[in-house]
Structure 1
Amino acid sequence: MSVKVSVVIPVYNPGRYIEDCIESLLRQSLPDDEYEAIFVNDGSTDETPARLDQLAAEHEHVQVIHQEPSGWSGKPRNVGIAAARGEFVMFVDNDDWLGDEALERMYEYGVANEADVIIGKMAGKGRPVPLQLFRVNRPRANVDNAPLIDSLTPHKMFRKDFLDKHAIRFKEGRRRLEDHVFVAETYLLASSVAVLSDYVCYYHVKREDASNAGFQRFDPVGYFTNLREALDVVERNTQPGPLRDKLYRRWLRNEMVERLRGTRLTTLPDDYRKELFDEISAVVNERMTSPAIAAGMQPTQQIVAALVAAGKFAETEELARWEGEIRPTGRLEEMSWDGGRLNLRVTAEYEVAHAPITFRTEDGEDQLNLPFDAATLEAVRAAGASTRATVDQADASIVVRERTTAAEFYLPAELVRERVPAPDGADDTHFRLLLRATSYLDPETAAGGSPLGPGIWDFYVRVNACGWGKTARLGSLRAGSVDTARRGALSGTPARLVLPYWTDPYNNLSLDVDHATNRFNADVRALTPDGVTLKTERGSAARLSFPLPLRVTGDTDATLRFKAPARSDDVQVPAVLAPAGEGAVLTAELPATLLAGRDWEIELGLPSAKRGAPRFTLLPVGLRVAKHGRATALPAAQLAGTGRKRATARSLPRRVLGRIRRALVRS
């Protein structure tokens, strides 16, 4: 069978970080004879070459190419392209990894949409990834109808015939932004680009030692010399006008303006800050002279661009210090289950120096309250930069992110923008902006239309307003009613536990999907004997029922397991969870004759789709069953014996117990 995808992995001294990459390639759902992994070892001096040779010996679809060190990723990627036999070529860095179905899904999606380039949804572990690009699937995208230009890393799938036809290759040698040059050219020459957003295909990882090549401080002169090469690609393949301005704007915004804002600038050494500013100023005045380029950015970004063009370094630093203190806040106002959905209502805004940001109205137009004197403010406006506060475009979104993989998804939301009077002391032209978002999480569709996978999902509020795009954890600020409304639910078929909870120690909101933690134990601790109902008749079965803080949408099977303290045997009986108000009631028929004459601990077994068997939780209430069968509920601590501790001792071998007894007698 012909090879569908060739995966090219440039390798240089990754150490243990390559193992996740290797394992993800071996786990691919695409059959082994339909893809190949080509590791190009670029002169590694660690144990990696031997590891790769062993891997190739064990797997026919793995190939290793060894070469002298070239200094960067361009040459090994080109060597991989030359060796590739696949219809498509996929590039993966040696410290990143793929989703298990990534190659199969991306290939099929690309073929179905006749794409020359396929971009799979990315998740960033400590690294930024484009967010707006992956909000929806885009089967036939281009640089004009989609924000493709926001994603210029090479971690994509490219049709090999397309690369060969246009002689598209990476620039080689020790250099920066060779991927920008390569990817920008593919975007501009491709007949179509397909963006797959409903499955996380690529995990972009920041190493714990922060030694990824992209995290090393760069030489500003060399960096912006290489950046000009990316601009040259755009210039060769576009005409002057709106499209070229739009593409240039990406580099002005991301590679220049954003590097001079907030803590990204203020945390740099003084001399390096000035060198960086001067190089950026040179590029702006040389290549970014069209007023339309900066005009398409947010006003706060326009202001920085104007300061750069005017060479105002001190004012740029002053603005960066002010913006460095801006933080988003999100207050959780409501949280409740409605059917199978977890409804959320959130109020968000920005703060600066621990106080709400205020805006002002001037001549009927909303304005930013900037930390400038009148002369600087006038100079900024004279340069053509807007100081308007774009509050009418402000947005707040709720995002869930899986803690282990960093896969994240936006939740559906409705937004209301509300102006409220500024704090006391400001005149009536000043106001605050509150963003009120109403959202919901459906565990069965929240992952881009698919169910959330098992694990811990953290909630974030993402605020975009006036050129500030920042994210904060959600939950630590909340209304008191949210605590009483919080409860878990059983969701899906087969059913699994979905449990909102507050994290330790920061008290933020997270979601436990399918028993990733033991947090449900805390929810049942409030159960007391008074909440347990027992209906028994002499010599007959007993009917047990008690409430649980758990939402169910219909009758759901569960299990009760009865264990006698200090004994290893147990009795399991089926139970049913039924909706009851805001929670559920559990009922079970107890075999009274089998339980008679003992004390019993009770464990509740809830379904687990991941395990395929119940996950048990010890309840704080147990049963005392008389010999004639009558049962009494009582706190588990009052059961006969010492409960779990005695059971542990009982599990010791008899010879060990005998030695302990003899030692006690002698003492």
Structure 2
Amino acid sequence: MPRTPRPGPSPRVSVIVPARDAMPGITRAVTSAIRQTIGLSRLEIIAVDGGSADGTAAELDRLAAGCPSLRVVRHPRSRGGTGALRNTGLDLARGDFVFFLDADAHLAPDALRRMVATADAGGTDVVLGKMVSPDGRGVPTAVFRHNQLRTDVHASHAYATLEPCKLFRRALVERLQLRFPAHLRHDEGKPFTAAAYLNASGISVVADYDCYHLGPPPGRDRTAPGLADRVEAMRPLLETAARHTRPGPRRDAVMRHHFRRELCPALRTLPHEDETEARERLLPTLRRWARAHCSDALFATLTAPERLMVHLLRTGRYDDLLSVVCGAERDARRGHLVEKGRVYWLHPFFRDPDADVPDACFDVTDRLPVRHHLAGAGWHGRSTLRVRGRAAVEGLASDPEEDRAELVLRRRGAREELRIPVVATAEDDPAEFAADLDIATADGGAPLRPGVWDVFLDVRAQGISRTVRFGSRHDDGLDIGTARRVVTVGPGLRARVTPYFTSPYRNLSLDIGPAPGGAPCEVTETVWHPSDKGTLVVAGRLLPPGTPARGRVLRLRAEHADGRVHDHPVRYAAGHPAGAFTARLPVRDLGRGRWTVTLAVVAPDGPGPGRPAPAAPVPPPARLPGARWMRRGRPYYAKPLVGRGEVTLELRVAPVRLLAAVRNRLRR
């Protein structure tokens, strides 16, 4: 079997296709690689046949006869999965990147070009292309909500998909000497992908194009892996996670995935396993892993049924573990006990002196589901939005006199939260409610600040509080857009209020922005001062045009995400008939963090006790570069935050990270 690479220039991508008795899908898989828009001159396709007996080898030879970029390699038939075939392809690969294409799947025409371009732009080692399935089954969705040029496993949902159908930088693969476990028959690709994720310089996601089309679901005659196979597949996964992470929160996050996806599902197969083999060989191995890799912090993040199984496993109580697994469906419907602000699952082992299981295994306080429904949102009066719906904590009865729910508004990108009490609207159903949100006075008597406000519900029952995002469940055909309105929020101040459903989860949010023609002033220019480093200059005029400056007191305001405020005077042009003004904001004097820039409208005698001045947004200019200055011998920068549909200018102030700056300059 040849193992030497071909001479000639290196291709950008090596597509490796393992195939064993893969007819008829192999034809579509290989053809989809041949037809990639990146071009055959930049590709090599390595199809590895693992001793097929159904005509796969002959079909690969036929395709190779018409495509010089396709190489067919023979591999002896073995008892393992496709890991050995992929390893053979890796030994021969010459591309800058490798992509593993399953024989029953296919690539969309522009997939590899997009993925390579994304890796080049982000300087990343792994690229996930959006996966789709003919029946939508078994396809990850969270990681593909939007494109990500550069992320990692801890800041994304990438670790939820460990199948190797990704684009990998070959330099990373060879540096780590990554290969697939050749002996495994199930999940042999997961340790490879996990090791690549955990060592990658960065991960990219292509979410706006259906890159990888999975094959049809497996037939009914395909047997599910037994406990022995699951344990063998789990071994390299846990070893990989332990080898490439350090003890602490990040390792716990990775191990939590494997405990929830592999270890606990394996325990649920116990009633169907040979009891002797399970007791003597498999469960001691699982127990050793549970004791070694499940920290107390990780244990607390598991669900109550998972905590109970892991506790019994770690203490070596096989009979009790089998009892819990066999009665899982029946016991899941048992009620709850509310005691001293905590909620416990009333499992038969709960506080049974003979069972001797700690209460922590049954605590479900932070996991109680909330049933909620948005019935409508419409205007009641000039500036009050009335929100109607239903909400209840599942499994707990609510007392309308004691348990008062609240509507919670959180301004996106800021540590700002407002609470609006809800009122029960039906005597026979305490879950029905209405909440009146007055846009003009909701913020302690002041109007809601411009920006996007996400709507939550704080639902309470028997002293237990659960806060959830609100709106994803609503009446069919509910058109929240009809509630859009321009409202008066203060003397000479109007705001545009747009309720809308977010994508993709369809939760309720409110977009508060300036009304056309309703702002008290107009910003005409926002620039950095040419000689005074770190000073922002804002110029504008009062509205409507011709409004005299007398009696209109403005302040240029910078407000930190934690609530700190810095006001600076606005100077009017002497004798200017249009109320022109300028103001300077010394950004260099602001502390690090995120600052929102507005023009505060203040009455001549001040805003009054306990009542903050209303603010008009300073819109982000189309082009405003960052600024740098020195503070106490250290370079600082201010950078405008743009690209998310902001209505108000936001600046991020922070010290320059010298190593990162040098690295970026060298990369450029």
Q: Secondary structure at the match of 2:159?
A: helix
1:93 corresponds in structure 2 to 102
Measure the CA separation in 1 of the matches of 2:162 and 2:199.
15
Q: 2:155 aligns with which of 129, 145, 158?
A: 145
Q: 2:238 aligns with which of 194, 207, 231?
A: 231
Q: 1:295 aligns with which of 276, 283, 300?
A: 300
Letter in structure 2 aligned against 1:14: A
TM-score by length of 2: 0.50
- If asked which structure has higher relative contact order (CA below 8 Å, sep 6+), I would say 1
Measure the CA separation in 1 of the matches of 2:362 and 2:113.
47
Measure the CA separation in 2 of the matches of 1:273 and 1:362.
42
Q: 1:201 to 1:415 in 2, by over 3 A?
A: farther
**Could you report, residue by residue, the CA deviation over 1:123-162 in whole angstroms, capped at 9, with x for unpaired residues?**
3457524333333333222233223332222111111122
Q: 1:373 to 1:230 in 2, by over 3 A?
A: closer
User: Any conservation in 2 of the 1:5–1:88 contact (CA below 8 Å)?
Assistant: yes
Letter in structure 1 aligned against 2:157: P
Measure the CA separation in 1 of the matches of 2:161 and 2:388.
27
TM-score by length of 1: 0.50
Q: CA deviation at 1:86?
A: 2.0
Q: 1:364 aligns with which of 327, 338, 341?
A: 341
Deviates more, 1:246-255 or 1:16-25: 16-25
User: Any conservation in 2 of the 1:39–1:65 contact (CA below 8 Å)?
Assistant: yes
Aligned: 1:106 with 2:115: yes
Q: CA deviation at 1:97?
A: 2.2
2:75 corresponds in structure 1 to 67
User: Any conservation in 1 of the 2:373–2:391 contact (CA below 8 Å)?
Assistant: no
Q: Secondary structure at the match of 2:53?
A: coil
Q: 1:248 aligns with which of 247, 255, 260?
A: 255
User: Any conservation in 2 of the 1:392–1:417 contact (CA below 8 Å)?
Assistant: no
Aligned: 1:375 with 2:352: yes
1:559 corresponds in structure 2 to none
**Could you report, residue by residue, the CA deviation over 1:304-327 in whole angstroms, capped at 9, with x for unpaired residues?**
32233234455545554565479x
Aligned: 1:76 with 2:85: yes
**Could you report, residue by residue, the CA deviation over 1:259-290 in whole angstroms, capped at 9, with x for unpaired residues?**
334xx666x45749956972564344442352
Q: CA deviation at 1:18?
A: 2.4
1:51 corresponds in structure 2 to 59
Q: 1:281 to 1:232 in 2, by over 3 A?
A: closer
Q: Secondary structure at the match of 2:302?
A: coil
1:418 corresponds in structure 2 to 391
Measure the CA separation in 2 of the matches of 1:277 and 1:359.
34
Q: 1:206 to 1:317 in 2, by over 3 A?
A: farther
Q: CA deviation at 1:69?
A: 1.8
Q: Which of the pair is proportionally richer in helix? A: 1
Q: 1:227 to 1:425 in 2, by over 3 A?
A: closer
Q: 1:240 to 1:167 in 2, by over 3 A?
A: same
Letter in structure 1 aligned against 2:299: A
1:7 corresponds in structure 2 to 15
Measure the CA separation in 1 of the matches of 2:276 and 2:216.
24
Measure the CA separation in 2 of the matches of 1:130 and 1:247.
17
1:34 corresponds in structure 2 to 42
Q: CA deviation at 1:98?
A: 2.3
Measure the CA separation in 2 of the matches of 1:397 and 1:28.
46
Q: 1:105 to 1:360 in 2, by over 3 A?
A: farther
Q: CA deviation at 1:77?
A: 1.0
2:363 corresponds in structure 1 to 387
Measure the CA separation in 2 of the matches of 1:102 and 1:416.
44
Q: 1:188 aligns with which of 172, 190, 198?
A: 198
Letter in structure 1 aligned against 2:16: V
Determine what percentage of the aligned residue pairs are the same residue.
26
Superposed, which structure 2 residues align to 1:163-312 within 5 Å? 163-174=173-184, 176-210=186-220, 216-218=223-225, 220-221=227-228, 223-261=230-268, 268=272, 271=275, 274=278, 278=283, 281-312=286-317
Q: 1:287 to 1:32 in 2, by over 3 A?
A: same
Measure the CA separation in 1 of the matches of 2:146 and 2:167.
18
Superposed, which structure 2 residues align to 1:502-517 within 5 Å? none
User: Any conservation in 1 of the 2:241–2:251 contact (CA below 8 Å)?
Assistant: yes
Q: Secondary structure at the match of 1:15?
A: coil
Q: Secondary structure at the match of 2:120?
A: helix
User: Any conservation in 1 of the 2:369–2:393 contact (CA below 8 Å)?
Assistant: no
User: Any conservation in 2 of the 1:5–1:35 contact (CA below 8 Å)?
Assistant: yes
Q: CA deviation at 1:111?
A: 1.3
Q: CA deviation at 1:61?
A: 2.5
Q: 1:223 to 1:19 in 2, by over 3 A?
A: same
Q: 1:366 to 1:199 in 2, by over 3 A?
A: farther
CA RMSD of aligned residues (A): 4.5
User: Any conservation in 1 of the 2:255–2:294 contact (CA below 8 Å)?
Assistant: no
User: Any conservation in 2 of the 1:8–1:39 contact (CA below 8 Å)?
Assistant: yes
Q: 1:2 to 1:48 in 2, by over 3 A?
A: same
Q: Secondary structure at the match of 1:154?
A: coil
Which runs of no fewer than 5 residues in structure 2 stay unpaired? 1-8, 375-386, 406-428, 434-471, 479-668
1:583 corresponds in structure 2 to none
Aligned length: 393
Q: 1:313 to 1:158 in 2, by over 3 A?
A: same
User: Any conservation in 2 of the 1:303–1:387 contact (CA below 8 Å)?
Assistant: no
Q: Secondary structure at the match of 1:390?
A: helix
Which runs of no fewer than 5 residues in structure 1 stay unpaired? 327-351, 399-413, 437-473, 484-667
Q: CA deviation at 1:31?
A: 2.4
Q: CA deviation at 1:254?
A: 1.0
Q: 1:316 to 1:388 in 2, by over 3 A?
A: same
User: Any conservation in 2 of the 1:381–1:387 contact (CA below 8 Å)?
Assistant: no
1:22 corresponds in structure 2 to 30
Q: Secondary structure at the match of 2:165?
A: coil
Letter in structure 2 aligned against 1:96: A
Q: CA deviation at 1:370?
A: 3.8
Q: Secondary structure at the match of 2:87?
A: helix
Q: CA deviation at 1:391?
A: 4.4
Q: CA deviation at 1:52?
A: 0.6
